[in-house]
Amino acid sequence: MADDTLFSQVLDPANRADPYPLYARLRETPVARQSDGKVVVSTHAAIRSLVFDPRLSSEDLPPSRRPRTGNPLKDWFLNPLKDRVANAHRPLIFRDPPAHDALRGFVMAEFGVERVRALHGRVSSLVDALIENCRGRDEVCLVEDLSYPLPVAVICDLLGVPEADEPQFQAWATQLATALEPDARGDEATRRANVAAFDAIASYMRALIKAKRRHPTGDMLSGLAARGASGEARMGEVDLISTAILLLVAGHETTVNLITNGMLTLLRHPDELERLKSEPARAPRVIEELLRYEPPVHFRTRKALGDIDIGGTIIPKGTAIILLFAAANRDPARFADPDRFDPDRPDIQHFGFGGGLHYCVGAPLARIQAEIALLALCRRLHDPRLLADPPPYRPGASLRGPEMLGISITGIT
């Protein structure tokens, strides 16, 4: 019988720096029921069998419930109406087909290969400028100096969000990311803060979308907000706002982790860092192995719409399910010597960007940013060394990555 507290230990910040021993213990029971009733699925084969299963629902967020204000009009009419609208128009990562497919289709129509490729030069320029800003220093903080400002600037460019407004949405994005944390969902104070953050960023997006319709500028948000030939909106207004919020938040949060985890891993494997520096053509393989070895997202939550049989274990209808992607990525039944960082390993079929219907929309752009950033860091930083190992980590267990990554250097090329 598996320890039914293992996942609660994963959520404990004390285990953030190295949750992998816990993942190994969870894999001993591929479908493990926890003491709180949740089921954790942790092997590669079990997760692969589930990601396309229509009985697995992404509509698992608790219902929106705005706190009472003491104002009868708000408490009995306005806020209940807002809650009903919010519950019916979640961002697409919390939607099932057919609504999910329709919303994803709108996004993909504006997020084609050409648009992503066109950003390559802009990403390269941003990376070089951010590294140049560190010239003359003997220490850098990778998160503050590059891996946060880079994807923020890129997603602002992509959506047409004024970069000067970034300080406003940084706090909103950090707060809304807690929706991916199972323990935070049950905390009333966190839920209230999430409602307040969502209302604030929704108000911001509503005004920005209105401006885009008056003066479209060719960016992705202008395209999503555009009306059809007969003047009708292609997306409902609330769905458009929730989609814009998702793209803004998810468009940088995971990429921050991918770049930071990537540089941390290379600094821990200096032979691979030097090899990447001398063989830049290896970059795509390095990125794929990083996505397997230290992924930016460690798990996602789902809900069973019906009884599901996984290898003889029944997950009952209504059960909350944790798909532990990071554990599957190090499953020895799927990968030889899985705890070794090896960009030369063959057939790296990882869950670094999730899987199935909800595979990350922004995966191509995240890969480009990580590849350009890591190649430039390896090439331009002289004698980089970690200042602290392990570094301090961000609070979340799902979006797992260092909060800071201090690096000593002797110069910049």
Local confidence pLDDT in tens for the 413 residues of the chain: 568 999 999 999 999 999 999 999 999 999 999 999 999 999 999 999 999 999 999 999 888 888 888 888 888 888 888 889 888 899 999 999 999 999 999 999 998 888 888 999 999 999 999 999 999 999 999 999 999 999 999 998 999 988 788 888 778 888 888 887 888 777 778 888 888 888 899 999 999 999 999 999 889 999 999 876 666 777 889 999 999 999 988 878 889 999 999 999 999 999 999 999 999 999 999 999 999 999 999 999 999 999 999 988 999 999 999 999 999 999 999 999 999 999 999 888 999 999 998 999 999 999 999 999 999 999 999 999 999 999 999 989 999 999 999 999 999 99
Edge-to-edge order in the sheet of strand 139-141:
139-141, 406-408, 385-386
- Residue 18: what pLDDT? 97
Pairing of strands 300-304, 406-408: unpaired
Given phi > 0 = left and psi -120 to 50 = alpha, else beta, which region is 317?
Answer: beta
In Å, how far from its chain's centre is CA 292? 14
- For 227, phi then psi, to 5°, come to -95, 155
Beta strands in 251-391 (DSSP E): 300-304, 308-310, 313-315, 320-323, 381-382, 385-386
The answer to whether the beta carbons of residues 361 and 104 sit under 8 Å apart is yes
Beta strands in 27-95 (DSSP E): 31-33, 39-41, 56-57
Q: Angle 235-241-244 (CA atoms, 0-180°, nearest 5)?
A: 100
C-alpha span between 98 and 212 (Å, rounded): 27
Structure tokens at 382: 């002289």
- Residue 229: what pLDDT? 65
State the amino acid at position 73 in one-letter form.
L
pTM for this predicted structure: 0.93
- Helices (H), strands (E): how many in the chain? 19, 12
CATH topology for 6-86+95-412 is: Cytochrome p450 (1.10.630)
The answer to whether the beta carbons of residues 9 and 15 sit under 8 Å apart is yes
C-alpha span between 2 and 4 (Å, rounded): 6
- Residue 22: what pLDDT? 97
Structure tokens at 14: 């004390």
CA-closest candidate to residue 399, choices 176, 240, 243: 176
- Residue 248: what pLDDT? 86
Structure tokens at 398: 């799902």
- Residue 175: what pLDDT? 84
DSSP state of 143: I
- Residue 347: what pLDDT? 85
Structure tokens at 269: 């494997």
